[in-house]
């Protein structure tokens, strides 16, 4: 299977929910790893859960910064010792939670190359992609998902798989970049929709089963031809995270249709 095969969430979300009618009961919690680095026992299940936790906060932040919903429909919250925003509409929160849970399932299988939050115009034209490149995530067979992970230096010294302080600092820095992305991007039109998409690694099979939360995605802003990609979108780097085995990059792609509307 080609690396750039993409899957998208079956149910796309829009801004039609009246987020002022009720308040979500879900609240962000502190980073799951809250012990001294030397005492942490990290399994692959833990590893994926830590990233999934980050992804939930990132999605809420993007929806706020890109004005997908009214700003007064978001609450102030704290995550990674940093002020963030969280939608207070239960249906928005539930959709995000369910979408990230579906991503987490595929991450545990080792099939995911990239995750992207894609924003569409009212005419169904992809305008922006917030990309999380997870191609450097480790692959761990299912039978070892609950086995403690280990990491050593070239000198044979044991080091933390997920160094808590370093990880929190880098995720805080990434959240800071996401929280100011609106100042670096052109405004979006009204009535945009959004969804979550994944791109699969080489030689991996798409998820099967029923009900199926994923469907094949249209190319969106992706293009395997680098020259064509440069002509069709503008990329804004956000930040790289490299804390122990947690290594990923984030960037934003703006479509030509948004930058130069006809």
CATH superfamily of 6-259: HORMA domain (3.30.900.10)
Please report how the helices 90-109 and 44-65 are oriented relative to each other, as an axis angle in degrees rounded to 10. Answer: 140
**Dihedral sign, Cα of residue 253, residue 108, residue 98, residue 202:** positive
Closest residue by Cα to residue 67 from 175, 169, 159, 190 = 190
Closest residue by Cα to residue 175 from 244, 97, 249, 238 = 238
In angstroms, the Cα distances linking 84 to 56, 117, 193, 226, 239 are: 12, 18, 22, 35, 17
Give the separation between CA 100 and CA 115, rounded to whole angstroms: 10
pLDDT recorded at residue 16 = 46
8-state DSSP, 155? T
What is the enclosing helix (H) or strand (E) of 179? helix 164-179
What is the enclosing helix (H) or strand (E) of 8? strand 6-9
Q: What is the pTM of this model?
A: 0.84
What is the enclosing helix (H) or strand (E) of 239? strand 233-243
Strand (E) positions, 74-171?
74-79, 82-87, 112-120, 126-133, 151-152, 158-159
Question: Per-residue pLDDT tens for 133-158?
Answer: 999 999 999 999 999 998 887 787 88
Tokens matching residue 154? 């070239």
Closest residue by Cα to residue 115 from 242, 188, 6, 223 = 6
pLDDT recorded at residue 215 = 73
Give the separation between CA 97 and CA 56, rounded to whole angstroms: 7
Lay out the sheet containing 233-243: strands in order across.
Answer: 214-216, 6-9, 193-200, 112-120, 126-133, 246-255, 233-243
For the chain, the domains span 6-259
Chain-wide mean pLDDT for the chain?
81
Low-confidence ranges of the chain (pLDDT < 50): 1-5, 10-12, 14-38, 221, 223-226, 228
Strand (E) positions, 100-225?
112-120, 126-133, 151-152, 158-159, 193-200, 214-216
Closest residue by Cα to residue 96 from 13, 183, 39, 163 = 13
pLDDT recorded at residue 204 = 77
pLDDT recorded at residue 32 = 44
């Amino acid at each position: 299977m080609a690396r750039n095969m993409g899957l998208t969430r079956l149910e796309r979300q829009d801004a039609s929910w009246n987020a002022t009618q009720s308040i979500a009961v879900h609240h962000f919690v502190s980073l799951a790893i809250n012990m001294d680095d030397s005492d942490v026992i990290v399994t692959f299940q833990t590893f994926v859960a830590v990233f999934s936790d980050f992804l939930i906060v990132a999605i809420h932040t993007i929806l706020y910064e890109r004005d997908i919903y009214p700003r007064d429909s978001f609450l102030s919250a704290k995550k990674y010792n940093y002020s963030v925003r969280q939608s207070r509409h239960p249906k928005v929160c539930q959709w995000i939670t369910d979408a990230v849970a579906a991503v987490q399932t595929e991450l545990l299988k080792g099939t995911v190359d990239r995750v992207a939050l894609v924003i569409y115009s009212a005419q169904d034209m992809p305008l922006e992609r917030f990309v999380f490149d997870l191609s450097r995530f480790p692959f761990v067979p299912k039978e070892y998902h609950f086995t403690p992970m280990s990491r050593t230096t070239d000198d044979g010294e044991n080091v933390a798989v997920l160094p808590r302080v370093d990880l929190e600092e880098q995720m805080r820095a990434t959240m800071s970049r996401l929280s100011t992305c609106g100042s670096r991007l052109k405004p979006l039109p009204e009535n945009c929709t959004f969804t979550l998409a994944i791109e699969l690694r080489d030689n991996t099979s798409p998820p099967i089963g029923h009900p199926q939360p994923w469907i094949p995605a249209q190319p969106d802003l992706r293009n395997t031809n680098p020259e064509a990609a440069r002509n069709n979108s503008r990329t804004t780097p956000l930040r790289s995270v490299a804390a122990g085995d947690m290594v990923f990059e984030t960037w934003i792609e703006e479509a030509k249709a948004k930058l130069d509307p006809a």
